[in-house]
């Protein structure tokens, strides 16, 4: 009996030790993901230095060749919730939030507060130009110079800071590729947003700008709802090919929940084209492989500024056609392999098609290539490709 007791106690202690080890490892990982640097940027107008927190993603020092998206928010208290949401939504392989550098003010700055005070009317163009110049040639330039950015920038803002985001979109849209605008202040024509929106939105040119615009019906937002509806009507009434905009009401939710809700939904909207493959019955896919490649060239060059892979959409179309048009399906999968020769899963897709068509010898040969290409990936993927190869070889034998 005593012997059994000590055996059970030993097992329990080992289990507790293992759990503590796992928790410590997780804590270290989270600490690394919240690694914060301080960047001091001079305001050219006042010559004052304004400090910003630069929160780097966990992989920043582990992947020295990787370049990162940037998200910026004017509110210093946005750093904990943005970095926390980002860590959770990006740790599973950049999905659904691509790994991102979070830029926020380091505490409340009088100099920055002065820059942000736009008001309404004739003085907006003067004060607003100073703010935009600071963002453009001051802060964003400094971030790009000191950190490995990929040129894709997101503006995130709540209430008055959201209005500043709309002001930036209308007056210098090239500063950011995407805007998350939560519960903007629009009453009394703050920052001239409603006054300028109809004219300036139609003047947008160049690359596509993605906008997630939201509000709710809380007591604190009642005074802004008329302006929100007016802005929504302007957006819906105009043909705006350079603007990919989503509007959403979070009615029934709490006021202070709005920036977190908008960040989650906004990130999903911004990166949806990156993560979601086109469905085979989509208008683009119905036009064939070349149309798919053209669409992803647009996403790469005009929307994101970094490569967006068409592999998933090509494979989805091919497997949709495999039963009825097998030769066409194989040709589409060969195009995927030609476009992405280093992708293990492009080769695996072609191997799978051969296997389903009972061309087992071709499936084995192609899966061997997939396994070889997977050697640069984490062990899970390597085991997966080896398992598939074993299955095909067993069928061949």
Among 346, 395, 394, which residue's Cα sits nearest to residue 366? 346
Beta partners for residue 178, in sequence order: 154, 210
Report the predicted TM-score, pTM, of the whole model to 2 decimal places: 0.88
Convert 207-246 to b/e letters by CB count within 10 Å (16 or more is b): ebbbbbbbbbebeebeebbebbeebeebbeeeebeebbbe
> What CATH fold (topology level) applies to the domain 283-396?
1.25.40
Dist. CA 348–CA 293, nearest whole Å: 20
Query: How far does CA 264 lie from the centroid of its chain?
Result: 10
CATH number of 34-275: 3.40.50.1820
CA distances from 318 to 6, 252, 285, 376 (A): 60, 44, 10, 26
- What pLDDT, on a 0 to 100 scale, did the predictor assign at position 13? 52
Kindly calculate the radius of gyration of the chain based on its CA atoms and give it in whole angstroms: 26
* Pair 112, 105: CB distance under 8 Å: yes
Dist. CA 174–CA 102, nearest whole Å: 19
| Beta strands across the sheet bearing 243-249 | 35-42, 49-56, 100-105, 68-73, 149-158, 178-182, 209-215, 243-249
**Mean pLDDT per 10-residue interval, the chain, length 397 residues:** 55 50 44 76 92 96 96 98 97 95 96 92 91 97 98 98 98 97 96 96 94 98 97 92 96 98 98 98 98 98 97 98 98 98 98 98 98 94 97 96
Q: Whose structure tokens read 């390597």?
A: 382
Q: Which two tokens stand for residue 81?
A: 């919730």
Alpha helices in 147-288 (DSSP H): 160-171, 193-202, 225-237, 258-270, 272-275, 283-286
Dist. CA 382–CA 370, nearest whole Å: 9
* Pair 347, 367: CB distance under 8 Å: yes
- What pLDDT, on a 0 to 100 scale, did the predictor assign at position 1? 53
- What pLDDT, on a 0 to 100 scale, did the predictor assign at position 119? 84
CA distances from 342 to 24, 205, 315, 392 (A): 36, 35, 16, 21
Domain ranges of the chain: 34-275, 283-396
CA distances from 220 to 116, 163, 345 (A): 21, 15, 50
What's the N-to-C CA distance of the chain in angstroms? 54
- What pLDDT, on a 0 to 100 scale, did the predictor assign at position 46? 84
Sign of the torsion angle spanned by Cα atoms 81, 82, 85, 86:
negative
CA distances from 177 to 70, 168, 188 (A): 10, 11, 28
- What pLDDT, on a 0 to 100 scale, did the predictor assign at position 2? 53
Q: Whose structure tokens read 């799978």?
A: 352
Sign of the torsion angle spanned by Cα atoms 188, 190, 191, 192:
negative
């Amino acid at each position: 009996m005593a012997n059994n007791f000590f055996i059970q106690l030993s097992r329990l202690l080992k289990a507790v030790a293992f759990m503590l080890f796992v928790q410590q490892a997780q804590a270290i990982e989270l600490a690394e993901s919240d690694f914060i640097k301080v960047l001091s940027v001079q305001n050219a107008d006042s010559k004052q230095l304004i400090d910003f927190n630069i929160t780097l993603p966990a992989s920043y020092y582990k992947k020295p060749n990787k370049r990162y998206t940037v998200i910026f928010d004017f509110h210093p208290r946005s750093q904990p919730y943005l970095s926390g949401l980002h860590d959770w939504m990006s740790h599973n392989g950049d999905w659904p939030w691509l790994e991102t550098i979070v830029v926020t003010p380091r505490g409340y700055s009088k100099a920055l507060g002065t820059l942000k005070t736009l008001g309404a009317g004739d003085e907006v163009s003067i004060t607003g130009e100073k703010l935009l110049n600071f963002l453009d040639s001051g802060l964003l330039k400094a971030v790009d110079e000191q950190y490995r950015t990929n040129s894709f920038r997101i503006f995130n803002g709540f209430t008055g800071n959201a209005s500043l985001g709309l002001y930036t979109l209308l007056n210098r849209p090239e500063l950011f590729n995407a805007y998350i605008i939560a519960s903007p202040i629009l009453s009394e024509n703050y920052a001239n947003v409603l006054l300028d929106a109809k004219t300036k939105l139609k003047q947008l040119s160049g690359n596509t700008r993605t906008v997630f615009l939201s509000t709710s019906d809380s007591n604190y937002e009642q005074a802004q709802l008329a302006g929100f509806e007016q802005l929504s009507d302007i957006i819906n009434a105009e043909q705006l090919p350079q603007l990919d905009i989503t509007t959403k009401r979070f009615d029934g939710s709490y006021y202070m929940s709005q920036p977190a809700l908008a960040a989650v939904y906004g990130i999903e909207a911004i990166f949806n084209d990156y993560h979601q493959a086109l469905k085979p019955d989509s208008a683009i896919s119905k036009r064939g492989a070349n149309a798919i490649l053209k669409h992803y060239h647009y996403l790469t060059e005009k929307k994101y500024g970094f490569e967006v892979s068409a592999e998933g959409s090509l494979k989805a179309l091919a497997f949709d056609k495999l039963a009825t048009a097998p030769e066409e399906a194989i040709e589409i999968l060969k195009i995927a392999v030609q476009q992405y020769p280093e992708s293990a899963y492009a080769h695996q897709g072609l191997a799978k098609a051969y296997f389903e068509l009972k061309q087992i010898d071709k499936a084995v040969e192609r899966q061997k290539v997939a396994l070889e290409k997977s050697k640069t990936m984490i062990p899970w993927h390597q085991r997966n490709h080896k398992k598939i190869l074993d299955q095909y070889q067993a069928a061949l034998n």
